[in-house]
């Protein structure tokens, strides 16, 4: 029964969030998409993922990424924390507490990509040129 309650709350929150209207500043280079959002991975991107990393502890913030997220929010950009941790509803309060501790407003936490996501910051992603299958490579991506 607990799982049904958790899922019902998750669906309710998702419906509320999808009904919200946002606009993305043209400085993001994505035009005037009314619901566009930018995903930011947590572990290894916004928060350090090191030897102290556990599911019960989120690492210290990565200053450069923390500043980037705060700047996007200040400009009115819709930002979501995009993390595998969101697949476990018990992780959400831990993530929300970490955001508050690091002076980030209450952001949606998700692990679901939709058509309104226009960019993703992630330490594990490999960029592919749209419609080509060609991988954008650098010295770290030899795949």
Per-residue pLDDT of the chain (143 residues; tens, 9 = 90+): 677 777 677 676 666 555 544 444 444 444 444 579 999 999 999 999 987 668 889 999 999 999 999 999 999 999 999 999 999 999 999 999 999 999 999 999 999 999 999 999 999 999 999 999 999 876 554 55
Is residue 57 assigned to a domain? yes
Is residue 18 assigned to a domain? no
DSSP state of 64: H
Is residue 98 assigned to a domain? yes
Is residue 120 assigned to a domain? yes
How far is it, in rounded angstroms, from Cα 117 to Cα 102? Answer: 24
Is residue 16 assigned to a domain? no
3-state secondary structure at position 109:
strand
In the chain, the number of structural domains is 1
Is residue 23 assigned to a domain? no
Is residue 1 assigned to a domain? no
Is residue 4 assigned to a domain? no
DSSP state of 117: E
How far is it, in rounded angstroms, from Cα 115 to Cα 126? Answer: 19
Print the domain residue range for 122.
32-143
| CA distances, 92 to each of 10, 54, 70 (Å) | 11, 14, 20
CB 80 within 8 A of CB 109: yes
Q: What is the pLDDT of residue 137?
A: 78
Query: Which CATH number do you get for residue 91?
Result: 3.40.50.1000
């Amino acid at each position: 029964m607990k799982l049904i309650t958790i899922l019902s709350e998750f669906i309710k929150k998702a419906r509320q969030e999808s009904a919200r209207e946002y606009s993305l500043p043209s400085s993001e280079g994505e035009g005037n998409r009314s619901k566009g959002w930018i995903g930011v991975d947590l572990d290894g991107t916004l928060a350090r993922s090191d030897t102290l990393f556990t599911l019960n502890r989120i690492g210290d913030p990565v200053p450069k990424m923390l500043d980037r997220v705060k700047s996007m929010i200040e400009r009115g950009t819709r930002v979501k924390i995009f993390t595998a941790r969101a697949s476990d509803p018990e992780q959400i309060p831990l993530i929300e507490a970490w955001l508050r501790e690091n002076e980030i407003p209450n952001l949606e936490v998700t692990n679901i990509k939709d058509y309104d996501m226009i960019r993703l910051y992630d330490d594990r992603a490999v960029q592919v040129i749209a419609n080509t299958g060609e991988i954008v490579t650098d010295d770290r991506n030899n795949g």
